[in-house]
Amino acid sequence: MRTALVIGTGLIGTSAALALAGRGVRVHLADHDPAQARTAASLGAGTADEPDAPVDLAIVAVPPAYVAATVADAQRRGLARGYLDVASVKGGPRRELTELGADLTHYLGTHPMSGRERSGPLAATADLFEGRPWVLTPTPDTDTEVLNLALELVSLCRAVPVVMDADAHDRAVALVSHTPQLLSSLVAARLADADESAVRLCGQGIRDVTRIAGSDPRMWMDILAANPGPVADILAAVAADLDATVAALRGLQSADEEKRRSGASGVEDVLRRGNAGRDRVPGKHGAAPATYEVVTVLIGDQPGELARLFADAGRSGTNIEDVRIEHATAQQAGLAQLMVEPSAAPALTAALRERGWAIRS
C-alpha cells in the first residue's frame, strides 16, 4: 500500500491515518468538516489535499448510518482500488450497500476493537490499535486484492486480524461493547441526583464500573441506533436477571427462613455466574486470565513518583503484569496496585520496603 484516503477524521480515522503516515504511506484526508481534516493533517496524519489519482485504499471512518452512502459515493467517483469501513456495526451497512447497488466485490466491512472515552482528531494516537482485535467481515464475493489491502492496513496499525460473519459480529459487539456502555451509563445515572455524602464515598469499584459512562452520547446514539435489536435482546436477558436478583434480595429481608435461604441462593447464583463469565475474559496476550498477587504501595501525588516506583520494581527483577491506581479521596496520596506472579510477590515486597516504600496489605 502506497496511498490511502481516510474519509472521516475523528478518533478512529485520524488514528489509522497517523499509523499509516508513520509507516510511509501517503495519506489523504477528507471530512464533511474541512477544519477537522486540516486539524488531523496538522497532527501529521497526512494531507488535506485531494488525491490526483485513485488511491490504493479508501478507509471510510464515519458513523454507521452514513457508511453505505459514503462508500457508494466514493465508488461512483472512482476514488480507490479498494474500499473498507471501520464502523462498529457491520450487517446494516452491507445490506444498505446492496440496496444502493454498490460494488460489494471491492468493499470490505471492518471494525477495529479499540477506542477511547474522548473523540475527535485531537484524541487520536498512532498506537490506538496496537495489539487490539480488528474484525474483518469478507464474503465469498470479496476481491482478494481488497482483502489483502485490509490485512496490510491491520498489520501497519499493528492490530490483530479476526475474521467473522457480519451479523455474528453485530451480536458479539452488542454483548461485549454496546450493552456494557449502556449499563455503565445506567449505573452512573444513579449518581447524578445522589446525596453528596454518598458520592464522597465513591471508590475504585464505582470508578471502574462508570469509566466508559464518560463517552460522547452523540457517538453512542449513532452506534446504538445501528444495532438496536441485538442490544435490546441482551438487555432483556439482563433485565430478567435483575428482576430475579431483586426478588432474591427481598427474600433476604423476609422473616420467613425458607425465603431467606432461597434469597441467599439466588444472590449467590448470580455472583458465581459473574465469576464464571469474568473468567472467560481474555487476559494478557489473549490467554486465559491469570491469578496475580497484588502488591499495594502507598504513593504520593507528585511528579515522578510512579516513575520512581516502576524503576525500583524493575531493579528487583520483577515483571509487573498489570497495574491499577486507587486514588485517596481528598488526599495527596494514592495506592498503586502492582499485579505480579505469586512467586514474585515476596521478593518485590522486600525490595520495595528496602527502598523506603510503604507497603499496604
Average predicted confidence (pLDDT) for the chain: 92
Which of the listed ranges 230-244, 279-293, 296-310, 342-356 does the model predict with the highest average pLDDT? 230-244
| Torsion sign over Cα 273, 285, 10, 50 | negative
Q: Give residue for cell 473498507.
A: 84
- pLDDT for residue 116 is more than 80: no
- Looking at the DSSP bridge assignments, the partners of residue 265 are none
Using pLDDT thresholds of 50, 70 and 90, give the confidence band for residue 203.
confident
- pLDDT for residue 286 is more than 60: no
Closest listed residue to residue 297, CA positions, set 283, 278, 311: 311
Give the C-alpha separation, 72 to 59, whole Å: 13
Length of the chain: 361
| Torsion sign over Cα 162, 163, 164, 170 | positive
Beta pairing class for 333-340 and 160-163: unpaired
Q: Mean pLDDT, to the nearest integer, of 219-231?
A: 92
Its pTM stands at 0.77
State the pLDDT at residue 285. Answer: 54
- pLDDT for residue 123 is more than 60: yes
Angle at 327 between CA 127 and CA 214, to 5 degrees: 55
Three-state DSSP class for residue 272: helix
Strand (E) positions, 61-132?
A: 80-85, 107-112
Q: Mean pLDDT, to the nearest integer, of 101-107?
A: 95
Please name each of the domains of the chain with its CATH number: 3-164 (3.40.50.720), 170-278 (1.10.3660.10), 293-360 (3.30.70.260)
Q: Which residues have C-beta within 8 Å of that of residue 24, sequence separation ≥ 6?
A: none
State the pLDDT at residue 284. Answer: 58
Give the C-alpha separation, 321 to 167, whole Å: 35
Closest listed residue to residue 174, CA positions, set 76, 257, 90, 100: 90
Give the C-alpha separation, 327 to 300, whole Å: 10
Using pLDDT thresholds of 50, 70 and 90, give the confidence band for residue 322.
confident
Is-contact 333 315, C-beta < 8 A?
no
Three-state DSSP class for residue 7: strand
State the pLDDT at residue 126. Answer: 95
State the pLDDT at residue 303. Answer: 87
